[in-house]
A and B are shown apart, each in its own frame.
Chain A
Amino acid sequence: MTPLIEDTAKPGRAGTDSHDGSAPPSATTKRSSRLVNGYKWWIPWVFLLPTIVAVLAFLIVPLTAGLFIAFTEWNVVSGIGGIRWVGFGNFQELFQDDMFWSSAVRTLFYAGVGTPLAVTCGMFLGLALNRPMPARGVIRAIFFLPSLVNVIAAGTVWLTLLNPRSGMVNQFLRAVGLDNPPGWFTSQQWALPAIVLMSVWVSAGYVAILIIAALQDLPTELYESAKLDGAGTIRQFTTITFPGLVPVLTFLLITSFIGRSQGFGLIQFMTSGGPGDATTVLSYYMYEVGFHWYRFGYAASIGVMSMLAVLALSIALFKLQRGRGLYT
């Protein structure tokens, strides 16, 4: 799935091969086809049973139920019996729901600006941290720290740091001569950018660690021969480093985009979607519809729509980098 999982390609392929290959030799007699490699056919299923049960209970059943609920009108008060089939009613309502569309636009901003920003910053951070320097391990660890913080602790600090009057950020901005620094979480205009900035602080170090791991996998011979051919630093980056990083970057873009478009904890805690609707992204809107207004059917239909959007965008992104021929 990812190039970073070291032995994905090799054993995976070897596994398939030996599977195809080992079947005929062991099938020397007709009876032994029931005994693959000397154990009874049901043994693997015993090992798989707990996972199958868990996946059914916590993934397949909820998913199916979620798809079903999206076509119903249902609130928790009326119990299971109160479920009413409304067909595409929820979706019709969604298309006329201004809040849905504006949340979608805000999600697009939050994930669409925040993700490339975080991945780009993280990439340059990773490149810088890959070069030799004193105390490199400690410095790397420091950048990674923010990704270990829970959203409430991070949110609490940033609420005080970005306090419009007494916050450190605005005090600094005033000190360098900015008379009217942004109001951040109290401003309709700046609340979402503030969350984007915060998310960069959270994830840049994590991106950098993955970039460093990928850089170490790049063959050093390429750089040596490039140097012999007289390629400069920029040229080495554009012809060797960047193409080599494209698979990781795509992976990071897709997973962080999905992560950003789904998480609502930070927003729920820090701004509750406000001020006004300034930070009501789709995931938060869905949470609000479901768990404040108890309109579970409508919430599920928002979930279905955002799932389809994320799926389409991920596929597009994946296709795009394949089409470039950078990653085969």
Chain B
Amino acid sequence: MSTTTALAAHHAPRPGLIRRQRKERMAWIVRGVLMSLLALLFLVPFAWMVSSSLKQNLDIFEIPLRWIPNPLVWDNYADVWTGERSMLRYFSNSTVVVVATIVGELAVVSLAGYAFGQLRFKGQNALFLAFLATSMVPAQLLLVPRFMFFRQIGLYDTLWALILPGLASVFATFLLRQHFASAPRELGEAARIDGAGEGRIFWSIYLPMARPALAALAILIFDSTWNDYESALIMITDEAKYTVPLGLTRFMSEDGTVSMGPAMAGSVSSLIPVLVIFLIFQRHFLRSMARVGLR
């Protein structure tokens, strides 16, 4: 009986259907409008950042506040990008750290991911579990010993102190292991019978198959390394080696006075590379974020 009523509802007279479609369309628009308004609210800090970066220092604190700067000044950007404390230097330091971390971490981690995912050896599962367990170690507890460690081996206050810890990424190893494990084992076995070496099998058969995972990881490493402030704060004292976030703090005060204009211009500049990568790889970015969940 209930099926007949359900069927009857489906074959409802036309006007009802049209009304429902119209209602659904209205809801579609209303949702869009509401969420756009909320999204605008989320954008306010960004808009304010850009607006302030084009203002004279005093105008930033002007009451009532003004969205369109008058006069419109580009001096803040000029200040930040030229001269002794220059964004140029911070950008090049950060680029070195980011590129080296991506290359180094992907190389180390894909080797291990391959061994865990494709190869078979004694104690494999136990070792893998031990690996996962080390990811529970809190960054906080590592702070002091890492500082001492890098001082001891003479790499304190060098960019190496920011690059090297990335090589020990349990999380990235875990992620790649999943990808290598889902690749067919037969390919490697066939290649082995044909006499290919193990390095060759890894390099020309399995590594190319992991390309999407490697790309996703590269994006995540870029984001977290570019934005990393805390490691730089602990490890770097020489201003010539400042990375972008650490360099930004230098623009806040000049001669003891708070100078928000340059700080804002620097902040906008620091966001541009991340935004560019995000816009280019948006789908990829969000998917890898969602899949990975960490960081």
Mask, A50-63, CB within 8 Å of B = 1, is: 11001101111111
Bitwise interface map of B from 130 to 169 toward A, beta carbon under 8 Å scored 1, else 0: 0110101111111111111101100000000000110110
> A51, B45: Cβ atoms under 8 Å?
no
- Classify the secondary structure of A's interface with B: helix
Q: Among the listed B6, B182, B290, which residue makes an inter-chain contact with A210, where contact means beta carbons less than 8 Å apart?
A: B290
Q: Say whether A19 contacts B120, CB under 8 Å.
A: yes
Interface size class of B (residues with CB under 8 A): 35 or more
Q: A148-B274, A209-B289, A258-B138 are in contact. Are A131 and B31 (CB under 8 A)?
A: yes
Interface string of A151-179 (1 = CB under 8 A from B): 11110111011010110100100000000
Given contacts A151-B229, A153-B49, A286-B140, contact A5 B286 (CB under 8 A): no
Distance of A310 Cα from B119 Cα, bound (Å): 35
B residues near A (Cβ < 8 Å) are 6, 28-29, 31-32, 35-36, 39, 42-46, 48-49, 52, 60-65, 107-109, 111-112, 114-117, 119-122, 124-125, 127, 131-132, 134, 136-149, 151-152, 164-165, 167-168, 170, 173-175, 178-179, 181-182, 185, 189, 192-193, 198, 202, 223, 226-227, 229-230, 233-234, 244-246, 248-249, 252, 260, 263-264, 266-268, 270-271, 274-275, 278, 282, 286-287, 289-294
**When A63-B145, A142-B42, A145-B42 are in contact, do A134 and B28 touch as well, CB less than 8 Å?**
yes
**A137: nearest chain-B partner, CB-CB:** B282
Q: Could you tell me the distance in whole angstroms from the C-beta of B292 to the nearest C-beta in chain A?
A: 7
User: Could you say which of A201, A255, A286 contacts B143, with CB atoms under 8 Å apart?
Assistant: A286
Cβ-neighbour of A160 out of B60, B138, B189 (below 8 A): B60
Nearest CB of A to B246, in Å: 8
CB-CB under 8 A from A44, the residues of chain B are 115, 119-121, 124
Minimal beta-carbon separation of A111 from chain B (angstroms): 13
Are A39 and B28 within 8 A (Cβ)? no
The smallest C-beta distance from A42 to any residue of chain B, in angstroms, reads 9
Question: Which bucket holds chain A's interface residue count?
Answer: 35 or more
B140 x A262 contact (CB < 8 A): yes
Q: Is the CB of B39 within 8 A of A153?
A: no
Q: Which of A8-16, A90-98, A235-243, A319-327 contacts B (4 or more CB under 8 A)?
A: A8-16
One digit per residue, 1 when the CB lies within 8 angstroms of any chain B CB and 0 when it does not, for chain A 129-158 equals 101111111011111111011111110111
Query: Across the interface, do A150 and B229 meet the contact criterion of CB distance under 8 Å?
Result: yes
Write the residues of chain A forming the contact surface with B, with a CB cutoff of 8 angstroms: 1-2, 4-8, 10-12, 14-16, 18-19, 22-23, 36-39, 41, 43-48, 50-51, 54-55, 57-63, 65-67, 69, 76, 80, 128-129, 131-137, 139-146, 148-154, 156-158, 160-161, 163, 165-166, 168, 171, 201, 205-206, 209-210, 212-213, 228, 248, 251-252, 255, 258, 262-265, 268-269, 283, 286-287, 290-291, 296, 299-300, 303-304, 306-307, 310-311
